[in-house]
Amino acid sequence: MRKITSLVLFCFILLFLSACQNNQNSKYPMYGRDTYKAFGDGRFAILISEKYAYNSPEYNPNTNTVYSLFDQENQQTIEISVYKYKEIESYLYIVGESGYTLVNYISGQIEQHNIIDKFSQDVSKIFKDESNYRIIP
């Protein structure tokens, strides 16, 4: 009787654990410990990283953390330091160290400029509108 009870308990635990899995259909890892926020299918993500190594002379624990926009498909950093962002439909509006970045995370198109007025008038207007921005800590 004890073996049957143990088997039933074991099956119940397996069922419970499998129900807790993230069943999102994604080609890319969505939330690792270095992910601040992932977008769309996870191809584009804002990652948390360190600017300098711990033993580097430039290391400062108060200012060393950076939030970078990363393209997981091409394995490249798009924006090294994100200050704020907003998401409208399938578009990301990123303000960072390099300037302004517009990402369509469905099509994968990226447009970057260091001057806001190089974007179309509609896109520039969205960048200039301060509402709905999420400020990176």
Residue 2 has pLDDT above 50, yes or no: yes
Given a contact cutoff of 8 angstroms between Cβ atoms, the answer to whether 111 and 100 are in contact is no
| pTM score above 0.85 | no
Q: Which of 4-18, 44-58, 73-87, 116-130 has the lowest mean pLDDT?
A: 4-18
Domain assignments of the chain as residue spans, ordered by start: 25-135
Non-local CB neighbours of 73 within 8 Å, separated by 6+ positions: 28, 43, 108
Q: Of 96, 92, 27, which Cα lies nearest the Cα of 67?
A: 96
What is the H or E stretch that residue 16 is in? helix 2-19
Residue 70 has pLDDT above 70, yes or no: yes
31 DSSP assignment: -
